[in-house]
Amino acid sequence: MSRKPMGNSWSSPIKCLDCQSEFPKTGFPHRCPECGGVYDFAEPLRYAPGASGSERRIWRYRETFPLPPGAKSVTLGEGNTPLVSYQVRGRSVYFKCEHLNPTGSFKDRGTAILASALEAQAIERAVEDSSGNAGASFAAYAARAGIHARIFIPSYASGPKRLQMEAYGAEIERIPGPRSAASEAVLEALSAGDTYASHAYLPHGIAGMATTAFEIFEDLGDSPGSVILPVGQGTLLLGLARGFQALRAAKKIQSVPQLIAVQAKVCAPLWMEMIRGESDLVSLEEGETLAEGIRIKSPLRMRALLGAIRASQGDVVAVDENEIMGGWNALAKLGLYVEHTSAVVWPALLQNLDRIREPVVIILTGSGFKSI
Ligand SMILES: [Zn+2]
């Protein structure tokens, strides 16, 4: 039995950035069919916890999400992750344990929203590209929603992540070459009727990521001074920025935290842009790195990312491969077993501890069980 889309009288908060046309209620285009523009939220996100009833975890913030009324929550129990307190050189540091989400990464918050939106529009088959975490997350939520998933991954993606995607029942296409080759391959392979459930092009997941900010605020009772996180496509960074802005608009916090984005030096487009300070966006070669999850040479929402970092009085930090390995070891010695991509935050913390605001929150994005 084929499903029918819902919410025909509902107005989506997602619009094309270029021509302002609303995200359509049938089909699920990854770019605006009118002009080819990129979709995003037309209005700032709102912080309104619990306003729609007795939902738990991220679903307490349902009013923040771009879902039609009555849409089913496609959930695996994501969110509500621990915020663990440490002292580092006498300063207050918290780790937000996003690696403890259902599929072992922060991606689940966003994928839950995207999968719910796909389910509400009766999408039955979807294609995605990923270096691992987004693919594993998408495969799991597609399985939960009964959607057939086909995922394009770079052939270097770690074995555990590929096995995880396959176990959930996704069809896997391994693409040789750099990460960007997988994105190009998926666009070439898209045929009429395929839905490209891209976590980069589609903004739905940003609202899910905003719940990370809401939980940090609710645990601390205030805004942190700064947040350090790995950044590839930057969905998490935009979600955090907009989540803290929503909290400020709701008069829950006075100021937003400094956002400190961390990249691997061999593939650091944001860092290059910040240090060069040029108005033309730079492109660079992507090098091999232990931090495979943030190996993105040209983030789709580059301008928005730089704008959010600058507006927060934040910064971009780039770390080398030795520092990533050292960070991985240091975090494990604190009892925190994360993947190498997540470990970029540790050298960034040590290098910047004396000049960023306290308390510092560090986002641990992916589980160590996914590392080889
Ligand atoms: Zn458009």
**DSSP per residue over 187-217, as a string?**
HHH--TT-EE--TTT--HHHHHHHHHHHHHH
From residue 174, alpha-carbon distances to 87, 103, 126, 153, 154 in Å are: 43, 20, 17, 5, 6
Asked if the 83-105+204-370 domain carries CATH number 3.60.20.10, the reply is: no
* pLDDT for 1 beyond 50: no
Domain residue ranges in the chain: 12-43, 83-105+204-370
Residue found by looking up tokens 């991509």 in the block:
341
35 Cα: distance to centroid of ligand 1 (angstroms):
4
Q: What percent of the chain has pLDDT over 90?
A: 76
Strand 83-88 relative to strand 14-16, pairing: unpaired
Q: Distance, CA 176 to ligand 1 centroid (Å)?
A: 33
Tell how far the Cα of 25 is from the centroid of ligand 1, in angstroms.
15
pLDDT in tens, 139-174: 999 999 999 999 999 888 878 889 999 999 999 999
Nearest-angstrom CA–CA distance, 287 and 357: 32
User: What mean pLDDT comes out for the span 48-71?
Assistant: 86
**Average pLDDT of 306-322?**
95
Which residues face 229 on adjacent strands?
261
The Å distance, Cα 130 to ligand 1 centre, comes to: 25
pTM for this predicted structure: 0.94
Condensed to tens digits (0 to 9), the pLDDT of residues 86-136 reads: 999 999 999 999 999 999 999 999 999 999 999 999 999 999 998 789 999
Ligand 1 geometric centre to CA of 33 (Å): 7
Q: Look-up: residue for tokens 């975490």?
A: 133
Grade residue 82 by pLDDT with cuts at 50, 70 and 90.
very high
Number of residues that this document lists for the chain: 372
What pLDDT, on the 0 to 100 scale, is given for residue 125? 93
